[in-house]
Amino acid sequence: MTAVGLLLFAYLMGSFPTSYLVGRIRGIDLREHGSGNLGATNTFRVLGAGAAIPVMIVDILKGFGPAALFAGWDGSGDARLALAYGGAAVAGHVWSVFLRFRGGKGVATGAGVLLALAPVTTIVALLVWIGVVALTRIVSAGSLAAATIVPPVAWLMDQPSHIIAFCVAVAAFVWWTHRANVRRLIDGTENRFGSGGQE
Protein backbone atom coordinates (compact mmCIF):
# COMPACT_ATOMS: atom_id res chain seq x y z
CA MET A 1 0.00 0.00 0.00
CA THR A 2 1.23 3.52 -0.73
CA ALA A 3 2.15 6.02 1.96
CA VAL A 4 -0.89 8.15 1.04
CA GLY A 5 -3.19 5.17 1.40
CA LEU A 6 -1.68 4.27 4.74
CA LEU A 7 -2.03 7.84 5.99
CA LEU A 8 -5.73 7.67 5.15
CA PHE A 9 -6.01 4.26 6.80
CA ALA A 10 -4.28 5.59 9.93
CA TYR A 11 -6.68 8.53 10.05
CA LEU A 12 -9.66 6.17 9.73
CA MET A 13 -8.26 3.95 12.48
CA GLY A 14 -7.91 6.98 14.71
CA SER A 15 -11.42 8.03 13.81
CA PHE A 16 -12.89 4.78 15.14
CA PRO A 17 -15.35 6.17 17.73
CA THR A 18 -14.50 3.87 20.62
CA SER A 19 -16.14 5.70 23.51
CA TYR A 20 -19.15 6.71 21.42
CA LEU A 21 -19.87 3.08 20.49
CA VAL A 22 -19.36 1.87 24.06
CA GLY A 23 -21.79 4.55 25.23
CA ARG A 24 -24.33 3.58 22.59
CA ILE A 25 -24.11 -0.05 23.69
CA ARG A 26 -25.04 1.21 27.16
CA GLY A 27 -27.84 3.36 25.71
CA ILE A 28 -26.03 6.68 26.24
CA ASP A 29 -24.67 9.30 23.87
CA LEU A 30 -21.53 10.46 25.68
CA ARG A 31 -21.63 13.73 23.74
CA GLU A 32 -24.65 14.65 25.86
CA HIS A 33 -23.31 13.59 29.27
CA GLY A 34 -20.49 14.68 31.55
CA SER A 35 -18.08 16.92 29.67
CA GLY A 36 -19.40 15.76 26.30
CA ASN A 37 -15.86 14.71 25.40
CA LEU A 38 -15.37 11.38 23.65
CA GLY A 39 -12.40 10.12 25.61
CA ALA A 40 -11.66 7.62 28.34
CA THR A 41 -11.97 10.16 31.18
CA ASN A 42 -15.53 11.12 30.33
CA THR A 43 -16.34 7.46 29.71
CA PHE A 44 -15.13 6.67 33.23
CA ARG A 45 -17.08 9.58 34.67
CA VAL A 46 -20.34 8.56 33.03
CA LEU A 47 -20.09 4.78 32.65
CA GLY A 48 -17.43 3.67 35.12
CA ALA A 49 -14.12 1.82 34.90
CA GLY A 50 -15.58 -1.26 33.23
CA ALA A 51 -16.33 0.82 30.16
CA ALA A 52 -13.42 3.26 30.37
CA ILE A 53 -10.57 0.72 30.53
CA PRO A 54 -11.42 -0.95 27.18
CA VAL A 55 -11.89 2.49 25.63
CA MET A 56 -8.45 3.58 26.82
CA ILE A 57 -6.80 0.39 25.58
CA VAL A 58 -8.36 0.67 22.11
CA ASP A 59 -7.56 4.39 21.88
CA ILE A 60 -3.91 3.66 22.72
CA LEU A 61 -3.79 0.90 20.12
CA LYS A 62 -5.22 3.27 17.50
CA GLY A 63 -1.98 5.25 17.77
CA PHE A 64 0.37 2.36 18.49
CA GLY A 65 -0.61 0.26 15.47
CA PRO A 66 0.03 2.81 12.69
CA ALA A 67 3.25 4.07 14.30
CA ALA A 68 4.63 0.58 14.90
CA LEU A 69 3.55 -1.18 11.73
CA PHE A 70 2.75 1.06 8.80
CA ALA A 71 6.33 2.12 7.95
CA GLY A 72 7.00 -1.57 7.33
CA TRP A 73 3.92 -1.97 5.21
CA ASP A 74 4.85 0.85 2.83
CA GLY A 75 8.25 -0.71 2.28
CA SER A 76 10.20 2.33 3.45
CA GLY A 77 10.96 1.59 7.09
CA ASP A 78 11.24 5.37 7.43
CA ALA A 79 10.78 6.43 11.07
CA ARG A 80 9.64 9.86 9.93
CA LEU A 81 6.76 8.26 8.05
CA ALA A 82 5.97 6.25 11.19
CA LEU A 83 5.49 9.58 12.96
CA ALA A 84 3.26 10.81 10.15
CA TYR A 85 1.10 7.69 10.41
CA GLY A 86 0.85 8.12 14.17
CA GLY A 87 0.00 11.80 13.76
CA ALA A 88 -2.76 10.91 11.29
CA ALA A 89 -4.24 8.51 13.86
CA VAL A 90 -4.19 11.23 16.53
CA ALA A 91 -5.91 13.63 14.13
CA GLY A 92 -8.55 11.01 13.44
CA HIS A 93 -9.20 10.55 17.14
CA VAL A 94 -9.63 14.28 17.71
CA TRP A 95 -11.56 14.95 14.50
CA SER A 96 -13.43 11.72 13.77
CA VAL A 97 -14.95 11.54 10.31
CA PHE A 98 -17.63 9.25 11.76
CA LEU A 99 -18.79 11.85 14.30
CA ARG A 100 -18.87 15.05 12.25
CA PHE A 101 -15.23 15.72 13.14
CA ARG A 102 -15.71 15.56 16.89
CA GLY A 103 -13.75 13.27 19.17
CA GLY A 104 -11.43 13.10 22.15
CA LYS A 105 -8.39 15.16 23.08
CA GLY A 106 -5.74 12.88 21.65
CA VAL A 107 -3.92 11.97 24.87
CA ALA A 108 -4.37 8.18 24.79
CA THR A 109 -3.84 7.88 21.03
CA GLY A 110 -0.79 10.15 21.19
CA ALA A 111 0.54 8.01 24.04
CA GLY A 112 0.14 4.97 21.80
CA VAL A 113 2.26 6.60 19.11
CA LEU A 114 4.99 7.47 21.60
CA LEU A 115 4.81 4.00 23.16
CA ALA A 116 5.66 2.54 19.76
CA LEU A 117 8.52 4.94 19.01
CA ALA A 118 9.87 6.06 22.41
CA PRO A 119 8.68 3.55 25.04
CA VAL A 120 10.91 4.67 27.93
CA THR A 121 9.89 8.29 27.44
CA THR A 122 6.25 7.20 27.43
CA ILE A 123 6.65 5.25 30.66
CA VAL A 124 8.19 8.29 32.37
CA ALA A 125 5.28 10.42 31.14
CA LEU A 126 2.81 7.83 32.44
CA LEU A 127 4.44 7.90 35.88
CA VAL A 128 4.22 11.70 35.88
CA TRP A 129 0.54 11.49 34.89
CA ILE A 130 -0.19 9.02 37.69
CA GLY A 131 1.67 11.12 40.24
CA VAL A 132 -0.01 14.41 39.34
CA VAL A 133 -3.49 12.87 39.22
CA ALA A 134 -2.89 11.14 42.56
CA LEU A 135 -1.81 14.43 44.14
CA THR A 136 -4.39 16.75 42.58
CA ARG A 137 -7.23 14.43 41.52
CA ILE A 138 -7.36 16.51 38.31
CA VAL A 139 -6.99 14.41 35.16
CA SER A 140 -6.34 17.39 32.89
CA ALA A 141 -3.47 18.51 35.14
CA GLY A 142 -1.93 15.06 34.82
CA SER A 143 -2.32 15.10 31.04
CA LEU A 144 -0.74 18.55 30.74
CA ALA A 145 2.14 17.64 33.05
CA ALA A 146 2.81 14.38 31.19
CA ALA A 147 2.74 16.13 27.82
CA THR A 148 5.10 18.82 29.06
CA ILE A 149 7.65 16.36 30.41
CA VAL A 150 7.83 14.32 27.19
CA PRO A 151 10.13 16.60 25.09
CA PRO A 152 12.85 17.08 27.74
CA VAL A 153 12.80 13.38 28.62
CA ALA A 154 13.12 12.46 24.94
CA TRP A 155 16.07 14.86 24.69
CA LEU A 156 17.73 13.45 27.81
CA MET A 157 17.22 9.93 26.40
CA ASP A 158 19.13 11.07 23.30
CA GLN A 159 16.23 10.32 20.99
CA PRO A 160 16.61 11.20 17.28
CA SER A 161 15.75 14.78 16.36
CA HIS A 162 12.56 13.80 14.53
CA ILE A 163 11.28 12.02 17.65
CA ILE A 164 12.05 15.06 19.81
CA ALA A 165 10.30 17.31 17.30
CA PHE A 166 7.26 15.03 17.38
CA CYS A 167 7.27 15.11 21.20
CA VAL A 168 7.25 18.91 21.10
CA ALA A 169 4.38 18.84 18.61
CA VAL A 170 2.43 16.39 20.79
CA ALA A 171 2.96 18.55 23.88
CA ALA A 172 1.77 21.67 22.04
CA PHE A 173 -1.23 19.78 20.65
CA VAL A 174 -2.26 18.47 24.07
CA TRP A 175 -2.06 21.98 25.51
CA TRP A 176 -4.17 23.24 22.61
CA THR A 177 -6.87 20.57 23.01
CA HIS A 178 -6.91 21.29 26.77
CA ARG A 179 -7.10 25.08 26.44
CA ALA A 180 -10.52 25.22 28.15
CA ASN A 181 -9.13 23.07 30.97
CA VAL A 182 -6.19 25.46 31.34
CA ARG A 183 -8.58 28.37 31.80
CA ARG A 184 -10.47 26.44 34.48
CA LEU A 185 -7.22 25.45 36.20
CA ILE A 186 -6.21 29.12 36.34
CA ASP A 187 -9.65 30.05 37.67
CA GLY A 188 -9.58 27.22 40.20
CA THR A 189 -12.79 25.72 38.80
CA GLU A 190 -11.42 22.61 37.11
CA ASN A 191 -13.23 19.43 38.01
CA ARG A 192 -11.53 16.93 40.30
CA PHE A 193 -11.49 13.23 39.63
CA GLY A 194 -14.69 11.52 40.71
CA SER A 195 -16.72 14.68 41.20
CA GLY A 196 -18.44 14.87 37.79
CA GLY A 197 -18.64 17.81 35.40
CA GLN A 198 -16.08 19.00 32.89
CA GLU A 199 -13.08 17.10 31.62
pLDDT, position 151? 95
Cα distance between residue 92 and residue 22, in whole Å = 18
Q: Is position 194 within any domain?
A: no
- Whether 164 maps to a domain, the answer reads yes
Which tens digit of pLDDT belongs to each residue from 28-60?
999 888 778 888 888 988 898 889 899 999 999
Q: Is residue 196 part of a domain?
A: no
Asked if the structure places residue 160 within a domain, the reply is yes
| Domain region containing 163 | 3-187
C-alpha span between 56 and 44 (Å, rounded): 10
Look at residue 43 and tell me if it is in a domain: yes
Task: Report yes or no: 105 and 94 within 8 Å, Cβ to Cβ.
Answer: yes
pLDDT in tens, 97-133: 999 898 888 889 999 999 999 999 999 999 999 999 9
In a domain, 38, yes or no: yes
What is the spatial distance between Cα 36 and Cα 190, in angstroms, rounded to a whole number?
Answer: 15
For 102, phi and psi rounded to 5 degrees? -110, 160
Its pTM stands at 0.84
Numbers of helices and strands, H then E, in the chain: 10, 0
Q: Count how many domains the chain has.
A: 1
Report how far residue 166's alpha carbon sits from residue 102's, in angstroms, rounded to the nearest whole number. 23
Pick the most confident of 8-12, 171-175, 195-199: 8-12
Share of the chain above pLDDT 70, in %: 96
Please, what is the angle between helix 49-73 and helix 3-15, to 10°?
A: 180
Residue 20: exposed, middle, or buried by beta-carbon count in 10 A (0-12, 13-18, 19+)?
buried
